[in-house]
DNA sequence: GGTGACACGTGACTC
DNA sequence: TGAGTCACGTGTCAC
């Protein structure tokens, strides 16, 4: 590194022109050399950052320079969107039933992380069934929030799936939650209301 | 743009060698042109993604190509760390068992509001029992948070009691939670572990 | 006039 | 062979 070889030792006389002295040629060559080296340093700097990006990305290592940047763009957009969704922690249940399951993929080790949101009428057997769904899908609960208000409930779950069945688990979870919500619709409304008012017994207890 | 000047019109005879015919030179020039244009497209692609990154980044637009990438790296690290912190918020279960029940009295209409926190080893029948306790004490759940980590669980409950039995309900809730935790201690550890590992059946379901 | 950043064209290499 | 990517050296513009 920094091989500052003295360029003045490699001079040679100029016969074509009298205006270009040895020193001016010397300086020109030195300038060119500096330029060359500076450009090389610049390239190295850029590529170093590019490689750091590679290591940060989940899908990492050998990829096109352009497609690497493309995935970085996409990733940045995803993370920004996630930050918005998470900070607006709307834990209060809304009036309309809804299910949302979205992939988060926070972790770089490849394990898929989902955020699932469920909002519906409250009923006492909802939570056990939810737990069974998570268990049967081998989903690990990283974080769970529940809020009830006026007979309605909102659950927000952050779950981790095996890295092998990431997308599969996502769809399974989605359909399971959907059937859970439909089961709620199918159940007798008056029965659910009674269960909500007189909550001190029911099918929950073993 | 796309000035496809026909290179065959600009040929010139070669006197230095007989082996290079016009067609071979033609093809070489065409190849060189293709190469040149392909390289240009590649540069444009990279720069386009770079500009998108610029627009995604919080503050400035005009920045060095290298420092732009540096800030992208930093931003990506920040967002990743932020995501980790969010999933592990303040609700994480601690190593030691604990019960806290404290009066909050948020509401102005006189109804007593408690905040109860419970941290212990996780087991699948914990949540139903917790629900039963709340039901039998006629406590209305305003807000519930649950977090599990490494086989341990933390529950944070915000509950409302009848205005008549405020302090009474508080003490009842405290003792009920205490007995719940002691039941957890008394239960066979291996049984609890088995229930935790094979979670897809059990006493939860009706 | 030196420094830094960029786009360009080209040789080398891979699939 | 051809299409693709990369590193390199150079010309050029701006401060």
Q: What is the CATH classification number for the domain harbouring B58?
A: 4.10.280
Residue A139 has pLDDT above 70, yes or no: yes
Cβ of residue A148 closer than 8 Å to a chain B Cβ: yes
Report how far residue A40's alpha carbon sits from residue A3's, in angstroms, rounded to the nearest whole number: 14
In the block, residue with structure tokens 């610049």: A42
Report how far residue B39's alpha carbon sits from residue B111's, in angstroms, rounded to the nearest whole number: 73
Domain boundary among B59, B88, B117: B88
pLDDT on residue B176: 93
CA A21 to chain centre: 62
Residue A119 has pLDDT above 80, yes or no: yes
Verify that A48 and A70 share a domain, yes or no.
yes
pLDDT on residue A110: 60
Q: Do you know the residue count of chain A?
A: 206
User: Measured between beta carbons, which residues in chain A are less than 8 angstroms from residue B131?
Assistant: 124, 127, 204
Cβ of residue B82 closer than 8 Å to a chain A Cβ: yes
Verify that A135 and A83 share a domain, yes or no.
no
Q: What is the DSSP letter of B10?
A: G
CA distances from A8 to A23, A24, A29, A31, A166 (A): 8, 11, 9, 12, 65
Q: What is the DSSP letter of B16?
A: S
Verify that B70 and B140 share a domain, yes or no.
no
Does residue B201 sit within a domain? no
Does residue B120 sit within a domain? yes
Burial of B173 (0-12, 13-18, 19+ CB in 10 A): buried
Does residue A43 sit within a domain? yes
Verify that B98 and B42 share a domain, yes or no.
no
Verify that A105 and A188 share a domain, yes or no.
yes
Report how far residue B139's alpha carbon sits from residue A48's, in angstroms, rounded to the nearest whole number: 59
The strand ranges marked E within A37-193 are 98-103, 113-121, 140-149, 152-160
Verify that B84 and B95 share a domain, yes or no.
no
Residue A188 has pLDDT above 50, yes or no: no
B68-102 burial: b if 16+ Cβ within 10 Å, else e = bbbbbbebbeebbebbeebbeeebbbeeeeebebe
For chain A, the average pLDDT equals 73
CA distances from A7 to A14, A175, A190 (A): 16, 74, 95
Nucleotide nearest to A65 (CA to C1'): D5
Does residue B1 sit within a domain? no
pLDDT on residue B12: 40
Does residue B123 sit within a domain? yes
Verify that B75 and B157 share a domain, yes or no.
no
Does residue B11 sit within a domain? no
Verify that B137 and B190 share a domain, yes or no.
yes
B105 φ, ψ to 5°?
Answer: 60, 50
Report how far residue A55's alpha carbon sits from residue B89's, in angstroms, rounded to the nearest whole number: 26
Burial of A149 (0-12, 13-18, 19+ CB in 10 A): middle
Nearest to B132 among A141, A145, A205 (CB): A205
Domain boundary among A26, A61, A88: A88
The 10s digit of each residue's pLDDT in A36-91 is 999 999 999 999 999 999 888 876 667 889 999 999 999 888 877 766 665 445 56
The parts of chain B modelled with pLDDT lower than 50 are 1-17, 20, 88-89, 106-108, 188, 190-206
pLDDT on residue B68: 93
Does residue A111 sit within a domain? yes
Residues by CB within 7 A of strand C: list them. Answer: A 27, 31, 34-35, 38-39, 42; B 32, 35-36, 39-40, 43-44, 47, 64-66
The total domain count for chain B is 2
Range of the domain at B48: 18-88
Report how far residue B20's alpha carbon sits from residue B197's, in angstroms, rounded to the nearest whole number: 77
Tokens (6 digits) for B170: 């508080």
Verify that B182 and B111 share a domain, yes or no.
yes
Does residue A139 sit within a domain? yes
User: Which of A58, A150, A204 should we substitute to test contact with B (largest number of B Cβ atoms within 10 Å)?
Assistant: A204
> Domain holding B139: CATH number?
3.30.70.260
Domain boundary among B88, B121, B137: B88
The strand ranges marked E within B71-162 are 98-103, 113-121, 140-149, 152-160
CB-based contact B93:B121 (threshold 8 Å)? no
CB-based contact A152:A121 (threshold 8 Å)? yes
Verify that B164 and B71 share a domain, yes or no.
no
Verify that A129 and A149 share a domain, yes or no.
yes
Verify that A153 and A112 share a domain, yes or no.
yes
Per-position DSSP letters for B150-203, written without gaps between them: TTEEEEEEEEE--STTHHHHHHHHHHHHHHHHHHHHHS-HHHHHHHHHSTTSST
Q: Do A125 and B70 touch (CB under 8 A)?
A: no
Q: A199 vs A18, which has greater pLDDT?
A: A18
- Closest-CA distance, B79 to chain A, in angstroms, reads 7
pLDDT on residue B10: 37
């Amino acid at each position: 590194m920094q091989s500052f070889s003295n360029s003045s030792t490699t001079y040679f006389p100029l016969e074509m022109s009298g205006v270009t002295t040895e020193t001016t040629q010397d300086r020109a060559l030195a300038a060119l050399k500096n330029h060359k080296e500076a450009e090389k340093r610049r390239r190295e700097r850029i590529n170093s950052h590019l490689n750091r990006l590679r290591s940060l990305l989940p899908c990492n290592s050998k990829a096109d320079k352009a497609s690497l940047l493309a995935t970085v763009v996409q990733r940045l957009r995803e993370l920004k969107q996630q930050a918005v969704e998470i900070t607006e922690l709307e834990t209060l249940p809304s009036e309309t039933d809804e299910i949302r399951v979205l992939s988060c993929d926070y972790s770089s080790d490849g394990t898929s992380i989902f955020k699932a949101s469920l909002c519906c009428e409250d009923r006492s057997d909802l939570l056990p069934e939810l737990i069974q769904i998570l268990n049967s899908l081998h989903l690990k609960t990283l974080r769970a929030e529940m809020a009830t208000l006026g007979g309605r409930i909102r659950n927000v779950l952050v779950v981790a799936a095996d890295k092998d069945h990431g997308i599969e688990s996502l769809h399974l979870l989605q359909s399971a939650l959907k059937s859970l919500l439909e089961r709620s619709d199918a159940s007798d409304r008056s029965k659910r209301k009674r269960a909500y008012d007189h909550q001190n017994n029911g099918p929950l207890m073993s």
